[in-house]
Chain A
Amino acid sequence: MFKQAQWNEKVIFELGGNGRRGYAFPSTSEEISKLVGNPVDKLPKTVKRTQSPWLPELSEVEVVRHFTRLSQMNYGVDLGFYPLGSCTMKYNPKINDLLAGLTDVSELHPDQDEDIIQGILEILYKLSRWLSEITGTHEVCIQPSAGAHGEFLGALIMRACHKFNGDADERTELIVPDSAHGTNPASGTMAGFKIVVAPSNQKGTVDLRAFKAAVSSNTAGLMLTNPNTLGLFEEDIAEIADVVHKAGGLLYYDGANLNPIMGKTRPGDMGFDIVHINIHKTFGTPHGGGGPGAGPIGVSMELAKFLPVPQVTYDQRRRRYYLDYNKPESVGKIRSFYGNIAVLLIAYAYILGMGGEGLAEAAEISVLNANYLLKKLSRIRGFELPYAKGRPRKHECVFSVKPMYKETGVRAMDVAKRLLDHGFHSPTTYFPSIVDEALMIEPTESTDKEELDRFIEALKNISDEAYSNPDLVKNAPHNAAVTRLDEAKGSHPKTMALSWRMHQNRNVIKAATSKV
């Protein structure tokens, strides 16, 4: 049985000892010091640091052990099944990481002369063309650092387009379905739009009638993910696109769920004008515990002029790749330099290893896996399948454990925590919000049938436990590095400690008040 390491590792500030060092710099040569002295002494009092920052003092081996121990208390794809819905936790091929570590990319400076960066520019240009092909868009900008960053850029491009057409003042509303990822409405607001929520219907897809009623001359556009967060393909997408376009709005595709449709259908062909791609989901780059990722966006021909500068471009005549800054209608910059290059390079290698057919096959297997789980998990006591029974899912399926909650008091969160004890990561919980007690499960193509069966078996066990010994489930996890955490305490103004410094200060205050 799974048992996670429990190191009881102290916070790094409590480790080490005075004067220890983990790394020594080559000393400034005496010759230099003799010539120029120490310019730090000349710093004016107003800006000279008099008190060293309170950093830990550790030897090299202490640093290595500390962080290696921490790593052992962290669950990753390389350890096992990670069915976190909407996050597409597929396997990350090791060769791709290795290539991203080569000094010919890792030690490349973004301001280097174009003559000596032709290799990386070629990679970035070709990747952008491939992403165009996969998404069915005209041109791809590789700059956004993450999906939400791409969404923000996409929403800005909507605004720029309406401004260009002279009706930006009128088009202030962005329509977002109630089942959308939280980043959609947040990104829309950041770009200055008012969010209008479109409800889902009984079938779990966009309610066409309510949607049509929400569209007006104030509509700037619609943000949609397809397949949606229930794993259902929005069959009416062509009509939805038509309605939005006829009203003068634009369609934005949230690419979080692109994995199951690669090579099968393309957002551009469905009528989407702007598409973001979660490179760290669909194209097998590691998530790094939350990032870095990359969120390139593809746009239609009409919108290409609004993309940020610079755009990696190829000059046929001179047979040369270059950075094109000549975009007078561009929305400007959304970050420094050109994008998360190391991540994009991994995606380039990933696509090379898969080929077009390989991507389509990956999509098919991911869908097959999701539907296998759909079928098997429907039979588990206490599980309920909301919406569209009998319809195939795409990349993920969403179950509700509402019956289990009613009958035993065991909630979706408890099931999730108990799964950890079985050595699986949990599904996404309580999302989408249109499903009560939701478990959102995305197996990806990287899971074999035996692993899926073990997962199904684990959930069956948990269901049995819920009905026979609910406390066992409610107090899970038992085999993780720590038992269930008090997250409310961690966020309460009186008890929170958001840094070591804050924690220390609170202890001082506590000690003082207890003395009084």
Chain B
Amino acid sequence: MQEIGIKTTDELYSDIPQKLRLTRKLNLPEALSEQEIRNHVELLLRKNKCTRNIPTFLGAGCWIHYIPAVVDNIVQRSEFLTSYTPYQPEVSQGMLQALFEYQSMICELTGMDVANSSMYDWSSALGEATRMAVRINNRNEVVIPRIIHPDRAATLHTYIEPLKMHIRKVDYTRDTGLINLENLKELVSEKTAAVYLENPSYLGFVESQVKDIADIAHDKGALFITGVDPTSLGILKAPGDYDADIVVGEGQPLGNHANFGGPLLGLFACKGEMELIRQMPGRVIGMTTTLKGNKTGFCMALQTREQHIRRERATSNICTNEALCAVASAVYLALLGPEGLRELGENIMTRVEYAMRRLSMIQGIKAPLFKSLHFKEFTVNFDRTGKKAHRVHKTLLKQYGIHGGKNISKEFPELGQTTLYCITEVHSKGDIDKLARRLKAALRNKR
């Protein structure tokens, strides 16, 4: 203070008009010591029952997977953790290279040529992908499946409503859940900016008519966007192999904790045509050399698309993204390798098949509703048990200490009393058997 010639720091606020000054103290709790903070927060968190303490069968856009210790160890390294966006590439090569490797791995998984270094989540990535399609072909409709997570459909709506775009929902075939191709042909026209498909679908089944859907979109000059759960891509075809133009998805299951639904990791990748690359949203890391040309290095590429340069004409407003989650995914994929990713998919699909059979043996339960192959999630219908899905859930939780799937009866009234169950590699055979036994008991329970 002496050095700058003031007596109180208050003098530095002298230019704030008196009437705008806060003359009282902020009404916040008194400061706690580190030990007190820890006790306080731990005590509060103990009111939760996390998925480690109660067998849980929830998925639907956020998934519980085992995260190898290496992943957390790497992303907690403070050199990564406490750095900002790599605006000074020479001292940020570590983060830049890790993100480049993440982008490259996402390209390998999806069969795309370019991926950005992250969007907020799957939902916002879908919103951005659709806006990108409009920038490319200047049309005003998007066709999406009727079977979609409500948050994703709602977010898409929010993102494209300012463009005065219309969403058209394509129906599904009642017995298989698959896209009704006749209906799709009716909906796709010269007005369609993009056709969006999710595979596996929100309700867990695998869509097999992928190439037909791509052709219908492309025949009318629309872009084909697909949404993926990347844990399926060790066993399911890369969307690039069935002609997707843009791929979005949720990267959380690749090495990121559920964290009560956030942070998530929006995947975004597209084909390598300049027409598409120039319209991509978000930060992209590229490989280059030093000016001297003697060494390889990494830097942010194509920044002229971004808000800090292009301002109101930027392809997106995104700045802070989910970089560290992307690094977690790169570490996770590096640990698994191609064989590990395939095994993961096989592990999940096999357990799901077993769980569906096991639950089907319970009187009155139909699992799944659709005659299709399922990946990580499947529908469980209670109509013939005479019980409401909500009641079954409450009994199972309160009497039997198991958290069942997500009740989707309100989202899809035509599916009756239905719950969406999720099984991953964290569930053992014993867990699934226990679920079946307790679900059976819960259904018998009079309460």
Q: How far apart are A419's CB and chain B's nearest CB, in angstroms?
A: 9
**Which residues of chain B have C-beta atoms less than 8 A from A110's C-beta?**
62, 258, 260-262
Q: How far apart are A117's CB and chain B's nearest CB, in angstroms?
A: 5
Contact A122 B320 (CB under 8 A): no
**Which residues of chain A have C-beta atoms less than 8 A from B34's C-beta?**
93, 95, 353
**Within residues 462 to 516 of chain A, which ones have a CB less than 8 A from any CB in chain B?**
477, 480-487, 489-491, 493, 495-503, 505
Residue among A22, A39, A262, A353 with max Cβ neighbours from chain B (10 Å): A39
Set B81, B104, B394, B425: member contacting A26, Cβ < 8 A: B425
**Which residues of chain B have C-beta atoms less than 8 A from A29's C-beta?**
428-429
Tell me, yes or no, whether A246 is within 8 Å of chain B by CB. Answer: no
Q: How far apart are A389's CB and chain B's nearest CB, in angstroms?
A: 14
**Within residues 1 to 43 of chain B, which ones have a CB less than 8 A from any CB in chain A?**
1, 3-4, 6, 9, 11-17, 19-22, 25-34, 37-38, 40-42
Tell me, yes or no, whether B76 is within 8 Å of chain A by CB. Answer: yes
| Chain B 102-127 near chain A by CB (<8 Å), digits 1 or 0 | 01110111000111011011111000
Contact B79 A103 (CB under 8 A): no
| Chain A residue nearest in CB terms to B331 | A67
Set B17, B32, B289: member contacting A489, Cβ < 8 A: B289
**Which residues of chain B have C-beta atoms less than 8 A from A11's C-beta?**
97, 100-101, 104, 287
Set A117, A188, A287: member contacting B82, Cβ < 8 A: A287
Q: Known contacts being A288-B324, A337-B62, is A21 close to B3, with CB within 8 Å?
A: no
Give A333 to B161 CA distance when docked, in angstroms: 12
**Which residues of chain A have C-beta atoms less than 8 A from B258's C-beta?**
106-110
Contact B104 A343 (CB under 8 A): no
**Which residues of chain B have C-beta atoms less than 8 A from A296's C-beta?**
none
**Which residues of chain B have C-beta atoms less than 8 A from A391's C-beta?**
15
Tell me, yes or no, whether B283 is within 8 Å of chain A by CB. Answer: yes
**Within residues 376 to 398 of chain B, which ones have a CB less than 8 A from any CB in chain A?**
393-394, 397
18 extra A-B contacts, CB within 8 A, seeds A23-B336, A74-B80, A265-B20: A38-B350, A47-B208, A63-B70, A78-B82, A113-B403, A145-B320, A148-B307, A159-B162, A185-B311, A235-B16, A269-B20, A292-B322, A334-B124, A352-B31, A486-B290, A489-B289, A496-B288, A499-B100
| Chain A 226-237 near chain B by CB (<8 Å), digits 1 or 0 | 000000010101
Set A63, A66, A345, A496: member contacting B286, Cβ < 8 A: A496
Contact B324 A291 (CB under 8 A): yes
Q: Which of the candidate stretches B44-52, B167-175, B183-191, B436-444 sits at the interface with the other chain?
A: B44-52
Set B37, B307, B330: member contacting A183, Cβ < 8 A: B307
Give A466 to B207 CA distance when docked, in angstroms: 64
Contact A47 B237 (CB under 8 A): yes
Q: How far apart are A364's CB and chain B's nearest CB, in angstroms?
A: 4
Contact B211 A46 (CB under 8 A): yes
Set B108, B308, B317: member contacting A151, Cβ < 8 A: B317
| Chain B 293-332 near chain A by CB (<8 Å), digits 1 or 0 | 1010111111110111111111011111111110100110
Contact A107 B64 (CB under 8 A): yes
Contact A367 B90 (CB under 8 A): no
Contact B320 A146 (CB under 8 A): yes
Set B9, B120, B298: member contacting A364, Cβ < 8 A: B9
| Chain A residue nearest in CB terms to B211 | A46
Contact B260 A117 (CB under 8 A): yes
Q: Known contacts being A70-B94, A71-B80, A332-B157, is A145 close to B263, with CB within 8 Å?
A: yes
Give A291 to B262 CA distance when docked, in angstroms: 12
**Which residues of chain B have C-beta atoms less than 8 A from A336's C-beta?**
61-62, 121-123, 149, 151-152, 155, 250, 261-262, 264
Give A86 to B9 CA distance when docked, in angstroms: 21
Tell me, yes or no, whether A305 is within 8 Å of chain B by CB. Answer: no
7 residue pairs bridging A and B, Cβ less than 8 Å apart: A73-B93, A331-B158, A337-B264, A340-B262, A352-B40, A353-B31, A360-B25
Contact A21 B40 (CB under 8 A): no
Give A26 to B13 CA distance when docked, in angstroms: 61
Contact A104 B48 (CB under 8 A): yes
Contact A290 B338 (CB under 8 A): no
Contact A43 B235 (CB under 8 A): yes
Contact A266 B261 (CB under 8 A): no
Contact B234 A182 (CB under 8 A): no
Give A265 to B36 CA distance when docked, in angstroms: 29
Contact B257 A266 (CB under 8 A): no
Q: Which of the candidate stretches B136-144, B216-224, B340-348, B362-370 sits at the interface with the other chain?
A: B340-348
Contact A64 B83 (CB under 8 A): no
**Which residues of chain A have C-beta atoms less than 8 A from B114's C-beta?**
498-499, 502
Contact B113 A266 (CB under 8 A): no
Contact A501 B304 (CB under 8 A): no
Tell me, yes or no, whether B92 is within 8 Å of chain A by CB. Answer: yes
Contact B353 A53 (CB under 8 A): no
Tell me, yes or no, whether A186 is within 8 Å of chain B by CB. Answer: yes
Contact B124 A335 (CB under 8 A): yes
Contact B76 A145 (CB under 8 A): no
**Which residues of chain A have C-beta atoms less than 8 A from B331's C-beta?**
63, 67
**Which residues of chain B have C-beta atoms less than 8 A from A487's C-beta?**
89, 288, 299-301
Contact A491 B303 (CB under 8 A): yes
Set A266, A333, A357, A420: member contacting B158, Cβ < 8 A: A333
Q: Which of the candidate stretches A190-198, A208-216, A402-410 sits at the interface with the other chain?
A: A190-198
**Which residues of chain B have C-beta atoms less than 8 A from A266's C-beta?**
22
Q: Known contacts being A87-B84, A483-B291, A502-B272, is A36 close to B337, with CB within 8 Å?
A: no
Q: How far apart are B76's CB and chain A's nearest CB, in angstroms?
A: 7
Tell me, yes or no, whether B349 is within 8 Å of chain A by CB. Answer: yes
Q: How far apart are A180's CB and chain B's nearest CB, in angstroms?
A: 9
| Chain B residue nearest in CB terms to A361 | B9
Q: Known contacts being A159-B162, A336-B151, is A485 close to B336, with CB within 8 Å?
A: no
